[in-house]
Amino acid sequence: MNLKDLQETYAAVNPASRQAYEDALGTIPGGITANVKYFAPFPLSFKEGHGAYLTDLDQHRYIDYVLSYGPLILGHGRKEIIDAMNEYLDQHGTLLYGAPHPGELQFAKLIQKYYPSIEELRYTNSGTEATLFAIRTAFAYTGKYKIAKFEGHYHGGYNEVLISVNPDVSKAGEASRPVGLPESRGISEQTLHDTIVLPFNDLTACREILTEHQDEIAGVIMEPCFGGTIPATKEFMAGIRKLTKELGILMIMDEVKTGFRVSMQGAQGYYGVKPDLTTLGKVIGAGLPIGILGGRRDILEMAAPQGSDLLSVHTGKSNAADVLYHSGTYNGHPLILHMGASTIHILANEFDGMLKHTERLKRGITEIYAKHGVHILTPGIGCMFNVCVTNLDNILTYRDLQKSDFELRQKLDYALLCNGVYNKPGNRYNMCTAHTDDVIDFTLEAYEKAFEMI
């Protein structure tokens, strides 16, 4: 079957999801509330989730490897987390204080236990907010107003970083000197000028570009594993840390995806590197919205209010020029922090078992592809990985990844959807503690059936 036939087969067996999508058109732009949720010809709509499984509107049951793009590391509806939520509400009575509460410090101390580079932190409501605040913080600390990011890396849906996330290589310049390309309408030429794009895993080129712009660049923001799965080499990571120190540029490690997934200490624990600033999200919220910006005390202290708040209108004055402003009604949400702490405590006991199941699934998928004469790589450290149909022996950069056979991967993904395995076509695999041996057995059997279909 070709890709179009597989998409038509998928559409034919999911009439309720199709109808839900069509009903949303005209009220919700494009029928979806986030562009990442779309895939052709329409995405599935779900009504239930339990453990490793989702059930859609057409009553189909799937093993879930999206896991809301990573947060549900204990699976759907883990009993201990639901119990923690109910216990909190029974004990405290309210969802929100809009004021300090003990859980803020308790959770901060728990994060510091695993991330010693985080001397102080502030809470946000998403990973995107955390990276946005990280960039403003870098500007404020250094007095410089350009940011450097890597080709292929994603840090959220705002202008400074919606550049060269998935660029057309034919328009993106030389590999060692990437040209910044916009990934959305509404990005100005000035923003393109102020965001410097770097080549991942090429320390020589990065040294040249960063040295050239050292008096302009406030920080280098990076995914330690781009897309969550393509890792920096240890030499490259150590080199970037050393180089940014030499040049007076802050190193911002975006661990929204890799935090508590590469290891309990995140990618910085794996690499043995202490960034100046770290962003976290996803896993730490137990499926609810949260983010963190943490890092060096001297940097974060800039956010401490000095006598009054920007919105304290009755003071008759503003100290905005002296303070790094950061606020948010839902920052440090008490219920989310309580459930997040419960998640981390459980995960600490189950992480090693999840790693074993991840490696078993990666081996099984590789063997099935090989049996059908197809070479693949499954890059990823910890409990996330990708499936790349490629003749390469290693993938180090965005441009290496572009040499993959995306059509074959998509065909398998649509065939898997028809056989009870849910992953957005082309997406990475996010593992959870509910992906036990029986779940993996079913997944590998579905892979065999998917190959038969195509």
* CA atoms of 186 and 259, how far apart (whole Å): 31
- 186 in the same domain as 117: yes
- 189 in the same domain as 251: yes
Amino acid at 269: G
- Of 239, 126, 214, the residue nearest 222 (C-alpha): 239
**Residue 63 maps to a domain:** yes
Summarised one tens digit per residue, pLDDT across range 249-268 is: 999 999 999 999 999 999 99
Summarised one tens digit per residue, pLDDT across range 389-432 is: 999 999 999 999 999 999 999 999 999 999 999 999 999 999 99
Provide the residue range defining the domain that includes 365: 3-78+351-453
Region of 213 (left: φ > 0; alpha: ψ -120 to 50; beta: rest) is alpha
- 355 in the same domain as 328: no
- pLDDT computed for residue 308 by the predictor: 58
Q: Please state the pTM of the whole predicted model.
A: 0.96
- 310 in the same domain as 416: no
Instruction: List the catalytic residue out of 65, 154, 270, 422.
Output: 154
**200 and 152 Cβ atoms separated by less than 8 Å:** yes
> Any idea what the CATH number is for the domain that residue 381 is in?
3.90.1150.10
**Residue 167 maps to a domain:** yes
Instruction: Say whether 282 is catalytic.
Output: yes
- 275 in the same domain as 211: yes
Last residue of a domain, one of 332, 360, 382: 332
- 325 in the same domain as 297: yes
Instruction: List the catalytic residue out of 149, 257, 282, 411.
Output: 282
- 209 in the same domain as 74: no
**Residue 91 maps to a domain:** no
Confidence category of residue 112, pLDDT binned at 50, 70, 90: very high
Confidence category of residue 436, pLDDT binned at 50, 70, 90: very high
- Of 229, 448, 193, 454, the residue nearest 358 (C-alpha): 229
Average pLDDT over residues 69-84: 97
Q: Is the dihedral of CA 350, 48, 336, 255 positive or negative?
A: positive
Summarised one tens digit per residue, pLDDT across range 29-67 is: 999 999 999 999 999 999 999 999 999 999 999 999 999
- pLDDT computed for residue 306 by the predictor: 77
Instruction: List the catalytic residue out of 56, 194, 202, 254.
Output: 254
Last residue of a domain, one of 298, 332, 366: 332
Provide, rounded to the nearest whole percent, the portion of the chain with pLDDT above 90.
96
Query: Can the peptide bond before residue 182 be classed as cis, meaning omega within 30 degrees of 0?
Result: no
Q: At residue 315, does pLDDT exceed 70?
A: no
**339 and 285 Cβ atoms separated by less than 8 Å:** yes
**Residue 28 maps to a domain:** yes
Confidence category of residue 322, pLDDT binned at 50, 70, 90: confident
Confidence category of residue 307, pLDDT binned at 50, 70, 90: low
- 355 in the same domain as 325: no
> Any idea what the CATH number is for the domain that residue 137 is in?
3.40.640.10
Summarised one tens digit per residue, pLDDT across range 2-22 is: 999 999 999 999 999 999 999
Average pLDDT, the chain: 96
The residue ranking higher by pLDDT, 401 or 312, is 401
**Residue 84 maps to a domain:** no
- 283 in the same domain as 209: yes
Tokens at residue 53, please?
Answer: 């499984």
Q: At residue 189, does pLDDT exceed 60?
A: yes
- 436 in the same domain as 371: yes
- 316 in the same domain as 365: no
Q: At residue 316, does pLDDT exceed 80?
A: no
Summarised one tens digit per residue, pLDDT across range 164-177 is: 999 999 999 999 99
- pLDDT computed for residue 427 by the predictor: 97
- pLDDT computed for residue 309 by the predictor: 66
**157 and 247 Cβ atoms separated by less than 8 Å:** no
**229 and 159 Cβ atoms separated by less than 8 Å:** no
Q: What are phi and psi of 116, to 5 degrees?
A: -65, -15
Place of tokens 């080549």: 199
- 154 in the same domain as 49: no
* CA atoms of 444 and 387, how far apart (whole Å): 14
Summarised one tens digit per residue, pLDDT across range 140-157 is: 999 999 999 999 999 999
**Residue 231 maps to a domain:** yes
Domain count, the chain: 2
